[in-house]
Amino acid sequence: EEFDFFERLLVPRVARVCKSDVGGDKVLQKKWTTFLKAQLVCSQPGRFPFNVIHHAFALPRRRGGADFYAVFTSQWQAGRAGSAAVCAYSREALEEVFEGKYKELNKESSRWSVYGGPDMRPRPGSCSVGPSSDKALTFMKDHFLMDGKVSPIQGQPLLVKTDVTYTRIAVDETQGVSGATYRVMFLATAEGFLHKAVELPGGPHIVESIQLFGTAEPVKNLLLAPRKGILYVGYSAGVLQVPLANCSLHRSCAECVLARDPYCAW
């Protein structure tokens, strides 16, 4: 048991495994030897946490590194029915937790607690070392869960929306007419809508909401093609092409400015 709850608690996690991991020779045969996982936090103060993750998207940074966006709902319905949240995490925040303390299972009490034993060098689960010793692999069998939790950028959700369930997310980076760079989130819903939200200093602003289908139908997948200016939307019956810029929607310059869509001149 990791948590004390009357009902089964769902815990969103992120895992790390090295690309070169081919499994162990004697210990952890045909199993990952560098697999580690950590809890993701997406919550607001005084509210039930958003603990059910539906989809995640990695956005590479132009100067290296990446940020990771994920869409969540909560397993608890009381007072938060139909609410969805978007949380973003930096690669640095993830790496800090994966380089932190491990948890271990007390077999007598069946409780997880912080590992307080001696540090091992080279560090188990690290990608920068060669083949691990049997001692390190034996340690990894029981210490795959990290003690630290990964907190979102700014310590809270980027966006919280009621009466909706987001099923997929894709994020694009584009340059506005002023030369400033903006991040635009494309959020697909379980009812077949597509929300386009631009990140602004004061918080995200939903620029557009598109009903993709004639009847309610969940979006299965999103694929960005920024160079073509297209978002591909996958659903049970096929694939749709949605333009990233829908500037003809605005009937005047003033309406375009109020929309604050960075794909259109404003």
Quick one: 91 exposed, middle or buried, by C-beta within 10 A (0-12, 13-18, 19+)? middle
Mean pLDDT, the chain, rounded, equals 88
Q: How far is residue 21's CA from residue 127's CA, in Å, rounded to a whole number?
A: 8
> Number of helices (H) and strands (E), helices first, in the chain?
3, 16
Q: Give the model's pLDDT for residue 134.
A: 82
Smallest Cα–Cα separation from 185: which of 210, 162, 168?
168
Q: Give the model's pLDDT for residue 247.
A: 79
Q: Give the model's pLDDT for residue 55.
A: 97
User: Whose structure tokens read 């160079």?
Assistant: 227
**Spans in the chain with pLDDT lower than 50:** 78-81
Quick one: 101 exposed, middle or buried, by C-beta within 10 A (0-12, 13-18, 19+)? middle
Q: How far is residue 188's CA from residue 203's CA, in Å, rounded to a whole number?
A: 19
| Structural tokens at position 112 | 């997880």
Q: Give the model's pLDDT for residue 79.
A: 43
Q: Give the model's pLDDT for residue 6.
A: 54
